[in-house]
Amino acid sequence: MASGFQAGSPRQSGMSHQPAWLLAVVVLAASAMGARLAWLQLAQGPENRLRADQNRIRLVPRHPVRGRLLDRHGEVLATSRLTYNLYLQPRLVSKERWPALREKLAALLALPVDQLEQNYKEGLQGDGYRIELASSLSSVQVLRFREQAINLDGAEVDVDYLRSYPGGPLAAHVLGYTSGLTEEEYARLADKGYRVQDRIGRTGLEQVYESHLRGEWGGQQLEVNAAGQVQRVLGDKQARAGKDLRLTLDLELQRTAEKALDGVAKGAIVAMDPRTGAIRAMASRPNFDPNIFSTGPTTAQWNNLNRPEAPMLNRAMRAFPPASTFKLISTIAGLESGRYGPTSTIPTSGSFCYDGQCYADHGSFGSIGFPLALAVSSNSFFYRLGLKVGSEELFKAARRLGYGSYTGIELRDEESPGLLGDKAWKKKVLGESWTSVDTITSAIGQGAVSVTPLQMARLYAAVANGGWLVTPHLVERDTPRTWIGLKPTTLKVLRQGLREVVTNGTATMLNDPRLPAVAGKTGTAEDPPRPDHAWFGGYAPAGKPDLVIIAFGENSGGYGGTIAVPMVKALLATWFKPAQAAS
């Protein structure tokens, strides 16, 4: 046959190639697995080891102790106090066992069951290794827990720290307060080492020096198994306490300032070293107790803080019409411009009329010089002066002395720059032209002129220290001061006039033999339809000043000499008490 199988020829089949194909598949699979393992070990090894450690290791955090705020002598103004909190370690307490433990804790410690349950559920949404069930336990509750601790497995009482202000509302606007982080803040600050349980400075120096005061968290490292059960303690890192901060405040003088403000519903006092700008006292009324924020204010407390009187507003750094205290600026404008000399005189009258408008004065003193005009606070003297020198010179002098700008104090976010409503301002804001009325009212510190008590302290400090514009500060540090170059004759006239205010002018209450020589100026600012503001700014001793004091009563009624001067006298008596005792 032409075709067919020959006897003895081998039989061909596709099965003969299968071992090679199978071997190739095995080799490829093994290579892929090897490559994957190599990639996991070499390229992703560190990351995977980190994930493994994160699954195996848990950190139980510990609060750092916040740094203290101290007065210039080291007296404590803000510190941290121990508080005891109740915690649960949910990995040691099953969900089935929790209700029974909850009931025990509620009965033993007199805690609301529903509050414990709410805190438990909220805590499970966190890392699940430590849940705060209750805070600020009393000593009785702590003792009861410790007596029964052996029967409360999985629960523990541990120490925490709350911000404490021993003086309560004393210097509250300066110190500020702390409170817990919000969720939004935590998301923003977590990378900076903050934790959910953290508290942060909200206002005052607590906010400005947050990084200096806060410290660094510590904690325990715990090893857990796959079921999440604690196996052992791997390490214990102590929390690093924050740093103390020494302030320029004088505690005794601050106490006096707070008490002096008891006579007004709203007001402020600033006491400052005129040589350096160091603030010795800063008080504002109404005030608040920052301790309420450590545990969280109640609804009633929160409503009280937000009442119309604004107790959280630091009036020492808010702007008000300066009234006759501004006559120092007008005096500087008249003398520094060259329009007047140190011995110049200007007529005064009970009524002054100009451009069809008449302005009253409280007396007619004849033709007088600058010192007496300041002593008796003659409005008509300064009406005429303002018109002669012009508004440009008035506002030039005001800016030269720091009015209309920030002072440089640490609490910049809480400070007002005040207002100098000059021609440009009036045209831009009101769309009106400048008139003689504006010049006349500006010359006596009324109209669109407002300054802060702190700005006024800089003005009086510049007169007291010989012409240096200092930088007010609340923390002991070197600060710049600027030479403003007032003429010696200008300084002499100002000092003589301010001294005469006390010896035979509107502030004779301060002409007290028990006090060193005092120099200053009263002011009574109109604020229709509300009652007048009362001012006094001055310094002592007049010959070699080491303290400037500004006292302000907002809508207090009365005069600077009857409302503000008694406040100043109280502070002077406290500050110069050692000198009085020695004499």
The 10s digit of each residue's pLDDT in 57-77 is 666 667 788 999 999 999 999
Question: Do the beta carbons of residue 189 and residue 455 sit within 8 Å?
Answer: no
Rounded Cα distance between 361 and 339, Å, is 23
* Residue 127: per-residue pLDDT: 55
Contacts of 554 (CB under 8 A, 6+ apart): 264, 265, 266, 267, 268, 315, 320, 533
Domain identity same for 542 and 448: yes
C-alpha to C-alpha distance for 415 and 407, rounded to whole angstroms: 8
**Residue 303 confidence class, pLDDT cut points 50, 70, 90:** very high
Mean pLDDT, all residues of the chain: 89
Same-domain check for residues 216 and 353: no
| Same structural domain, 401 and 484 | yes
Q: Pick 262 or 294 by higher pLDDT.
A: 262
| Cis upstream peptide for 529 (omega within 30°) | yes
Do 258 and 118 fall within a single domain? no
Look at residue 7 in the predicted model and tell me its pLDDT. Answer: 47
Query: Are 130 and 155 in a shared domain?
Result: yes
Assess if residue 373 is contained within a domain: yes
Q: Are 88 and 133 in contact (CB under 8 A)?
A: yes
pLDDT reading at 215 higher than 80: yes
Write down which residue in 246, 277, 312 finishes a domain: 246
The β-bridge relationship of strands 69-70 and 245-246 is parallel
9-31 mean pLDDT: 64
Q: How confident is the model at residue 458 (pLDDT cuts 50, 70, 90)?
A: very high
Do 315 and 552 touch, CB atoms closer than 8 A? yes
- Asked whether residue 46 is assigned to any structural domain, the reply reads no
Angle (CA) 371 551 478, round 5°: 95
User: Positive or negative, the Cα torsion across 119, 121, 123, 125?
Assistant: negative
Asked whether residue 13 is assigned to any structural domain, the reply reads: no
Residue 233 DSSP SS3 = strand
34 lies in some domain: no
Instruction: Tell me: do 561 and 574 sit in the same domain.
Output: yes
- Angstrom CA distances, 9 to 13, 14, 336, stand at 13, 17, 131
pLDDT band at 237 (very low <50, low <70, confident <90, very high): confident
Same domain, 217 and 327: no
For residue 425, the 8-state DSSP code is: H
pLDDT exceeds cutoff 50 at 54 = no
Is pLDDT at 140 greater than 60 in this prediction?
A: yes
d(CA 199, CA 180) in angstroms, rounded, equals 4
Range of the domain at 322: 251-285+295-582
Reply yes or no on whether the pLDDT at 348 is more than 80.
yes
Interacting residues of 22 by C-beta distance below 8 A, sequence separation 6+: none
How many other CB atoms are there within 10 angstroms of residue 444's CB atom?
30
Whether 269 is in a domain gets the answer: yes
Asked if 68 and 105 sit in the same domain, the reply is yes
Claim to verify: residue 266 and residue 381 sit in the same structural domain: yes
377 class by beta-carbon count within 10 Å (0-12 exposed, 13-18 middle, 19+ buried): buried
The domain total for the chain is: 2
Residues 352 and 435 in one domain: yes
Strongest mean pLDDT among 25-34, 157-166, 484-493: 484-493
Q: Do 217 and 326 lie in a common domain?
A: no
* 40 in a structural domain: no
- CA–CA distance from 22 to each of 13, 31, 287, 467, 505 (Å)? 17, 14, 87, 99, 115
The order of strands in the sheet holding 230-237 is 57-62, 218-224, 230-237
pLDDT of 1 reads 43
- Look at residue 19 and tell me if it is in a domain: no
Q: What is the pLDDT of residues 487-518, one digit of tens each?
A: 999 999 999 999 999 999 999 999 999 999 99
Q: What percent of the chain has pLDDT over 90?
A: 70
- Asked if pLDDT for residue 390 goes beyond 80, the answer is yes
Q: Do both 86 and 157 map to the same domain?
A: yes
State phi, psi for 220 to the nearest 5 degrees: -100, 135
CATH (domain of 339): 3.40.710.10
Which of residues 185, 215, 246 is at a domain's end? 246
Alpha carbons 335 and 39: distance in angstroms, whole number: 84
Instruction: Kindly tell me if the per-residue pLDDT of 44 is higher than 90.
Output: no
Which CATH number belongs to the domain containing residue 70 in this structure? Answer: 3.90.1310.10
137 domain-assigned? yes
